[in-house]
Amino acid sequence: MSRSETEQVEGPLDPVAAAARLAASGLFSEYVLYERDGVWLFGGGVRWGVDLDSDRVTVRGAEGIVDSRPYTGSPADTLAETLAALPEESWRAYGWVGFDFALHSRAAAPALRREHARLARLIVPRSEVRMTVGGAHISGGSAQMRQKVRSVLSERVSETERTRVTIDSQNHSQAYVGLVSEALTEIDRGLYDKVILSRKVNVPFAVDIPATYVAGRRANTPARSFLLDIDGLRSAGFSPELVVTVDGDGEVLTNPLAGTRAAGRGAEADAAARAELQSDPKEIHEHAISVREAVTEMRSVCLPDSVAVSDFMSVSLRGSVQHLASTVRGRLAEDTTPWRAFEALFPAITASGIPKPKALEAIVRLEEGRGLYSGAVVTATSHGELEAALVLRAVYEEQGQAWLRAGAGIVAGSRPEREFEETREKLSSVLPHVVSAS
């Protein structure tokens, strides 16, 4: 890309507010914002789009559909092959992968597959903006579009308090407690060792998604954050963990979290909750078996001797909650691909269960469809890099209806009322920051 196809915006810059202004500007019909390590990456407009359904893959160009065909086999391989075939030498794709992707993967039972399900939506954007506190770099798109983006980023807008309406997270407590009790019965029968069961909380008003992103990001300490609008689905979230990263040298990392206590209630209360978390047999067991399974999954796609655990059972603060956290690393095997590594680790153990195939079957049987919840927001490049952030602590909106969702890990020894309280603790990372569109 030549220097004439880029624009520079000198800082200082508030990337959170600037990114939200860009999302709300109306300049792009579809976009994805992805924050990692102090950098906010924004991809807007569609140069190429890849729409993966359970039975068909469609490639869109700027002017409409370029190709649409049925496929069989692995959705991960189909995505990898479709992206590799794009008529671009170098690209970065942004998008989302829904929970249903897992139901069509190699390891899933055929009976779990859903007809005509949306599995993934990715775009290679026309315009890209890289934002930090030091400024912004705008690339791609027309000179006119780059100037419009520059104008949006350069606006000096003071944040005003927006209407935030109280939403009752106590609703349906008995229904969820009953669901957990049913899962505990199945665990006692030996059907599975662990399952994550979630519940949905509807938002009874229209939501300003970009403003909610700003309010929520100010209050949260996510591993990654995101804001997106693709194929009619809008979402803003504050991801607590990575499903997987693969760098250009084939280094693979996953970041299982399991075990939760509230945070943000004062230094003394937080310290007491942390000590309880680190000594609770149920939480330690839940975390240890999650790490064990992550190691097994990593070994299926990495050189076996390269897989190792680091930062075992440390505590990560994620907004209104704190978690037990570990990191598992490895090197990608020569005969596999980043998308196969994603498939092996998706959905995250901490959002599905153990053993994963049995837990997926239980989730499909006991819950309504999850959609993007416990899916991933992803970035991938033509150079073999891939990163997928777990979609939790998020607000969703589609067809005029907004909602949130939260879950808890159920193992032998779980108490239904405590698991319900855990969902409330997780919801509090987002609920107080939901901004009305009115």
Tokens found for residue 67: 């190709």
Bridge partners (DSSP) listed for residue 224: 239
Residue 81 is among the residues annotated as catalytic for this protein: no
Q: 200 near 368, Cβ under 8 Å? A: yes
Q: 285 near 301, Cβ under 8 Å? A: no
How far out from the chain centre does Cα 101 lie? Answer: 13
Round to whole Å and give the CA distance between 428 and 277: 18
Where are any strands of DSSP class E within 265-348?
A: 308-318, 321-331
- What is the CB neighbour count within 10 angstroms for residue 141? 23
- Which member of 7, 30, 128, 241 is catalytic? 241
Bridge partners (DSSP) listed for residue 68: 58
Helix (H, G, I), strand (E, B) or coil at 245: strand
Q: What does the longest C-alpha to C-alpha distance in the chain come to?
A: 66
Helix ranges (H only) for 155-197 are 173-188
Question: In this structure, what DSSP letter does residue 305 have?
Answer: G
Active site residues: 241
